[in-house]
Amino acid sequence: MELFEAIKTRRSIGKVKDDPIPEELIRQIIEAATWAPCHHRTEPWRFTVLAGDGRDKLRDALVASLKTSMDDPETDENKQRLEKISKQPYRAPVIIVTAIEPAENDKVIREEEFAAGHAAVQNMLLAAHALGLGAVWRTGKPLYTRTMSEAFGLSEKGSVTGFIYIGYPDMTPPPAKRKPVDEITQWYS
């Protein structure tokens, strides 16, 4: 697949088949992430691959994280919210948890570590697309809790940055539209 075609045709694929994904494809996706740019060559990204029963780890982390924001997890409304979030990890056969461990270096700016991690995610999404897989990068409030970071073994400074759900596509995404370049760009000569 040609680069510009891949960039323009990649879409978030939220509905995938339950078919298993060969480990070699997941390794290729993660390797693509490691070629993202990063200031000071810190390579701050970290990845956790969840498949099969391994997805229970994310289920437990999501439930625990959401509970920390609830005054009373035992209300009917909160029980429904917890039940709903507990099903999320089973929407795809593989989930890659993406995270950042900022470097211990005074020259390194924390925001740049996150920028590198987000660039790595984009590489992963493009690689999945090029390999014929569907993927979607999910985030949300439970992601940014200390409970979630601890669930995936991150330091006090580390942070989960998203969940990439991966599988063989079971949907055809609608065509995307983008603003014209001239509408979002200023040129000075």
34 annotated as belonging to a binding site for a ligand: no
Domain assignment of residue 39, given as a range:
3-184
- The per-residue pLDDT for 95 is 98
Q: Write the CATH number for 18.
A: 3.40.109.10
40 annotated as belonging to a binding site for a ligand: no
Task: Look at residue 65 and tell me if it is in a domain.
Answer: yes
Task: Look at residue 132 and tell me if it is in a domain.
Answer: yes
Task: Look at residue 72 and tell me if it is in a domain.
Answer: yes
Query: Which residues share a beta bridge with 137?
Result: 164
10 annotated as belonging to a binding site for a ligand: yes
- 59-94 pLDDT, tens digit each: 999 999 999 989 999 999 999 999 999 999 999 999
59 annotated as belonging to a binding site for a ligand: no
CA distance 107 to 90: 41
Q: How confident is the model at residue 21 (pLDDT cuts 50, 70, 90)?
A: very high
- The per-residue pLDDT for 109 is 94
187 annotated as belonging to a binding site for a ligand: no
3-state helix, strand, coil in the chain (%, to 5): 45, 15, 40
11 annotated as belonging to a binding site for a ligand: yes
Task: Look at residue 148 and tell me if it is in a domain.
Answer: yes
DSSP state of 169: B
Q: Shortest CA distance to 87 belongs to which of 106, 103, 110, 66? A: 66
Quote the number of domains for the chain.
Answer: 1
Q: How confident is the model at residue 175 (pLDDT cuts 50, 70, 90)?
A: confident
- Are the CB atoms for 99 and 129 separated by under 8 Å? no
Task: Look at residue 189 and tell me if it is in a domain.
Answer: no
Task: Look at residue 99 and tell me if it is in a domain.
Answer: yes
